[in-house]
Amino acid sequence: MVAELQPGLSFPLGAEVSDGGVNFALYAPRARLVELVLFDAHDSRPDQVLPFDPARHRQGVYWCAFAPGLRAGQRYGFRVHGAWDPARGLRFDAQKLLLDPYARCVSLERYQRTEAEQKGNNAERAPVAVVVDPRAYDWEGDRPLGRSRKAALIYELHIGGFTRHPSSAVPEALRGTFRGAIERLSWLRELGVTAVQLMPIQQFDPQDAPPGLENYWGYSPMAYFAPHSGYASGTDPQDVVNEFREFVKAAHREGIEVILDVVFNHTCEGNSKGPTLSFRGLANDVYYILRDDRSRYADFTGCGNTLNANHTVVRRLILDCLRYWVREMHVDGFRFDLASALTRGESGEPLPKAPLIADIASDPQLAACRLIAEAWDAGGLYQVGRFGGPRWAELNGKFRDDVRRFVIGDSHSVAPLAQRIVGSPDLYAASGRSVQHGVNFLTSHDGFTLHDLSSYSHKHNLANGENNRDGHDANYSWNCGVEGPTGHPLIAILRLRQTKNLISLLLLSQGTPFWLMGDELQRTQQGNNNAYCQNNPVSWLDWSPMRHHAGLLRFLQELWKLRRRLRLFAQTTPWTEAPAMLTWHGVRLGRPDWSDASHSLAYSLRLPDGSEHLHVLLNAFWEALVFELPPLPPDRAWHRIVHTGLSAPEDIYPPGKAPQIWEAQIELPTRSICVLWEGTRELPLPETAIDLEASGVLKALSPGPIPPQAGEESSPHAAPAS
């Protein structure tokens, strides 16, 4: 029990443990009264309610008090009294227990979202903050890896879904937790991953979902400083803090950076009908962008509200939060969800030079961090290629769309593809950023998986309870002739080939490659392209098909090794800036076909010193094409290191072991990619050598448009027009 609150300090904000007690500091400028509510660890009812005395416990816009005798582990919340006047943007409700915006740990043991949405006292069914002493941990010398300027393979990982499935071979008590993820970090190292981008692990509201479902993705933030309590294997709420730290330490030991997907564009409090959990009951008119009708929220996020990120107080909250995750939790970087919303002013207007974006980029505590922006929002802002200056990398949504369109055989796709291959200079050259600032991705949590891109032409989201209205309609996918699962052997061959085509374009293009969890094992969501509320096997990574997809896994690993080995892919400027380095071709040398009806492209890449020379052939046409090959000196020859039209292990070779091409041209089967490497000519021609092009073997593996089986659906891309 606390006998009496003593005068406290207004900084730092939140609950700060010191010798003898805990200091509480809270921003609530228009509040008439603040009460500190303390809970016993084993009781949902308040154990003690301590009012702040405005004369002794208020400094300007901050309420602050020192509670002697309290320690880490204490559960607490606030009741804040003030005017209920939505027309003025004020929504004080003293019956609601409020979370500390700076809470470092949250307990959801008794939380009921519906009670926070309705009138009345919800203290026994509210989220409760837990006091944490971040000093009480031994980092054993760990530090962030600090690789912000180096190339990476970024792997988007969902902590819950990574090991939740029984096939993960993780002990049941650890499945879906930070400790469970530690058990499978070696998998990521063997795959070649250098950084994991964790889908939201800041405390989110799992109940922010349609009835009967659960918010799985986590894009519903509740407390920005707290790790999500559902990812702890321990029973004490504080366990989640140190378990996250254990994960970071273990990742760093494997040489893997940890990047957080942070959601500072909105909160889980939603629109005017949403729950009062924290920000709304403290300073609604400060934390959120409001419309001219102050009772309504501006929604540039599609989630009911938009955080007022460039208000000085909210800006400080975000910066304090980022610094905390770097300083106390040792993370290596951040991916900012719907980052364009963070460039809006207090009336929702786009700011040409948003203060928050500049502050993050120039903050000395964040100097070594990766900063990655999702450079758009749901209000129509699209800033890819011009977000935030040289410190900021960007998710390259145009890479995703243009590569997909080329691979499925869309018209008007060759010229855009060429830009994506060379690091998107049409997007980034004007800002002077390197090609590594573009984060190239084929798939992410939002949309189809890699497997589903070649298995479904339409979204199948009925399980989400929104009558298939949710999720994107423009997926640029193709089912290869049949919608969903099929036993048709030629369709299976074509789908695998399309998957390898997509992988090849990702890893053979300039930019930082990004990979979705489970794509290496052909994870499917059964055509659901918006599985945000599917905390079940639809979203979890099923490890059991590992042997079945060993060939694809090997293809990915070998191609990533090739990329890391070659200096061509270490260039920081587009290949087009050095004329001797890149030459475009078509089926005829030096004659690329940039027409709208074109479906093929070839290009040569050569280092100025001649030590590395590649020739890449791309055929997205529905028939085989014959490509001319560049002539080489008599003692040199082309060696086939990649061929997506062939089965494993012939689909990829290390350069020193690749078979030699004996002809001056090569027939490339329908919808396939081939990469040739200049090496030493092997003489004479072995008598046992087989010319695969002439033998017709490749043609036999080159199915054209495949008619659907009886009762199955065909895609409009099954026979695209030339």
Q: What secondary structure does DSSP assign to 330-350, as a single string? A: ---EEEETTGGGGGB-TTSPB
Helix (H, G, I), strand (E, B) or coil at 290: strand
Q: What secondary structure does DSSP assign to 448-484, as a single string? A: --HHHHTT-SS---GGGTSTT-SS-S------TTSSS
Q: What secondary structure does DSSP assign to 631-643, as a single string? A: ---TTEEEEEEEE
The reply to whether 470 belongs to the active site is: no
Is residue 103 within 8 Å of 129, Cβ to Cβ?
yes
| Dihedrals phi, psi of 373, to nearest 5 degrees | -105, 135
For residues 691-700, b (16+ Cβ closer than 10 Å) or e, as one string? ebbeeeebee
Q: Distance between CA 160 and CA 519 in Å, rounded?
A: 16
Is residue 618 within 8 Å of 673, Cβ to Cβ?
yes
Q: Distance between CA 3 and CA 185 in Å, rounded?
A: 48
For residue 202, what are its two tokens? 């800041």
Q: Distance between CA 472 and CA 554 in Å, rounded?
A: 31
Helix (H, G, I), strand (E, B) or coil at 302: coil
The reply to whether 205 belongs to the active site is: no
At position 140, the amino acid (one-letter code) is E
Q: Distance between CA 240 and CA 245 in Å, rounded?
A: 9
Q: Shortest CA distance to 629 belongs to which of 595, 581, 675?
A: 675
Q: Spot the catalytic one: 337, 402, 483, 667.
A: 337
Using only the alpha carbons of the chain, give its radius of gyration.
28
**CA 52 vs CA 8, 49, 80, 103: distances in Å:** 10, 10, 10, 19
Residue with tokens 């944490």: 132
Q: Spot the catalytic one: 16, 183, 257, 374.
A: 374
Q: Distance between CA 526 and CA 534 in Å, rounded?
A: 12
Burial of 496 (0-12, 13-18, 19+ CB in 10 A): buried
Active-site residue list: 337, 374
